[in-house]
Structure 1
Amino acid sequence: MNVLIVEDDARIADFLMRGLRAEGYHVQRAATGPLGLEMAQQAARDAAQQATPSVVVLDLMLPGMSGMEICQTLRAGGVQLPILMLTAMSSLEDRVNGLRMGADDYLCKPFEFEELLARLEALGRRARAVQPGRTQLLQVHDLVLDRESMRVSRAGQPISLTARELALLELLMSAPGRMFSRERILANVWGHNEDPLTNVVDVYIRRLRAKVDEGHPATLIQTMRGLGYRLERVESNMA
């Protein structure tokens, strides 16, 4: 996924760029409002041509043109790139105004990088959902998820999952081999209002593993102890 950071604070921008690139994102940065608008418009054109999802991380206070103005201009021009507004202005009125101008999400400074990642992943999933070139079938080894019908099978045998289990499995299958922390899973599947101390992720992973892995020689759902979970083909039943 491509991420455009529109942020004039060099320290914050450098922190975000290094962190996101380490997570495998393609990252660009604009330091002024007018340049940010131009790059966002170009990113929208590129996304349409390449079927590659892009997300804009947009600071509110920018030289030359505010984040609110950029957001409003993009939406007025029909640009539907997901926008995460990033700002130190945290009042309810500021958040409401940002969302009304067309932002998809709002994150206040200071913030935890893990939460930023989770929000970007959620926005990226929305972006992929509306793209014509979106892959409808996800497959890892002999596990198949049809995103259109939301049906799951393994080795040709159907698996019955609840809506939450489906959402969790789709997240893991969207990036085989990638480790998802409990916090990122919680934010993506349950939302940002869920208690971060809850063990609901571990409970659902156990349920999912019982339905997906039990009775099969290859264990797909892997536990990265102390870190999180990932989905990949292995030859052992050890998790």
Structure 2
Amino acid sequence: MNILISQRDEKTAQYIANGLKELGHRTNYVESLETIKVLESLTSYDLVILDTNVDDISGIEICRYIRQQSKHTGIIFISNDDEIQIKLRAFEAGADDYLIRPFAFLELVARIKSVMRRKDHVVSDDENILKVGSLVLNYHTRQVKRGDKNIELTTKEFLLLEYFMKNKNILLTRTIIKEHIWGIDFINDTNIVDVYITHLRNKIDKGFDTKFFYTIRGAGYMLKG
């Protein structure tokens, strides 16, 4: 899963991120809750882990904003605030769960699994499918087709294509792509993005007159459709 983390305590955020990475999840940590509002693709996250307040900004208001953007994104609060009124406000804003610090990491994992099971249950087949022209991606079955052609992708290629399709006709810089697909700690001077774009072009665009992937010289890449 792709998980966004925002906590007032950076050590707690790092503890959560390290544990989730070991389980194979991709994590992105943002220091400011306000940053969440300007993320280019908030809906690309499967789960957001919030605090009630970070730098005097209300996590509950950010939760409400996220829920307005996507009803399928999981939202879990981890906070020191144990007052029932705060918890009620969080749930009314759209939170799926609320966990009090200190907490056991295994309990967090169990709650994440429970939240995501509920989310998976309410998502219909149509909502599992992304379409851009003749390109179809089913992120539940992990199948990709262009017209009648089945396309075999590696896990990273699939995640990258999904990210582009969710952001079609939007310029994505190499830095943004690295942060969302490989994590914010990934080495900045690598050409890994260019390599994977080449893989996707060979598998998706090769042999077709109409191209999906375009290079925006000096800026990044775009999937047009």
Q: Which runs of 5+ in 1 are unaligned?
A: 59-66, 83-95, 105-125, 234-239
Q: Which runs of 5+ in 2 are unaligned?
A: 1-5, 9-30, 43-51, 110-114
Q: Kindly tell me: are residues 20 and 81 of structure 1, through their superposed partners in 2, closer, same or farther at Cα, counting changes over 3 Å?
A: farther
Instruction: Give the drift of 1:152.
Output: 0.7
Task: Report if the CA contact (8 A) 1:181-1:228 is conserved.
Answer: yes
Aligned residue type for 1:80: D
| Pairing 1:80–2:96 present | yes
Q: Kindly tell me: are residues 164 and 41 of structure 1, through their superposed partners in 2, closer, same or farther at Cα, counting changes over 3 Å?
A: closer
Match of 1:171 in 2: 163
Task: Report if the CA contact (8 A) 2:63-2:75 is conserved.
Answer: no
| Pairing 1:130–2:119 present | yes
Task: Report if the CA contact (8 A) 1:33-1:70 is conserved.
Answer: no
For residues 178-219 of structure 1, give each alpha carbon's deviation from its aligned partner in whole angstroms, at most 9, with x where no partner exists: 121111111221222320110011001011101100111111
Instruction: Give the drift of 1:133.
Output: 3.9
| SS at 1:219 equivalent | coil
Instruction: Give the drift of 1:37.
Output: 5.9
Match of 1:51 in 2: 71
Instruction: Give the drift of 1:6.
Output: 10
**Alignment RMSD, CA only?**
4.9
Larger RCO (CA under 8 A, 6+ residues apart): 2
Q: Kindly tell me: are residues 188 and 47 of structure 1, through their superposed partners in 2, closer, same or farther at Cα, counting changes over 3 Å?
A: same
For 1:172 and 1:145, how far apart are their aligned partners in 2? 11
Q: Kindly tell me: are residues 99 and 187 of structure 1, through their superposed partners in 2, closer, same or farther at Cα, counting changes over 3 Å?
A: farther
Aligned residue type for 2:80: E
Instruction: Give the drift of 1:224.
Output: 1.4
| Pairing 1:153–2:175 present | no
TM-score by length of 2: 0.56
Match of 1:36 in 2: 58
| SS at 1:153 equivalent | strand
TM-score by length of 1: 0.53
| Pairing 1:210–2:199 present | no
- Aligned sequence identity (%): 22
Match of 2:188 in 1: 196
For residues 80-102 of structure 1, give each alpha carbon's deviation from its aligned partner in whole angstroms, at most 9, with x where no partner exists: 379xxxxxxxxxxxxx97996x9
Q: Kindly tell me: are residues 47 and 181 of structure 1, through their superposed partners in 2, closer, same or farther at Cα, counting changes over 3 Å?
A: same
Task: Report if the CA contact (8 A) 1:154-1:212 is conserved.
Answer: yes
Size of the alignment, in residue pairs?
173
For 1:189 and 1:71, how far apart are their aligned partners in 2? 34
For 1:142 and 1:71, how far apart are their aligned partners in 2? 50
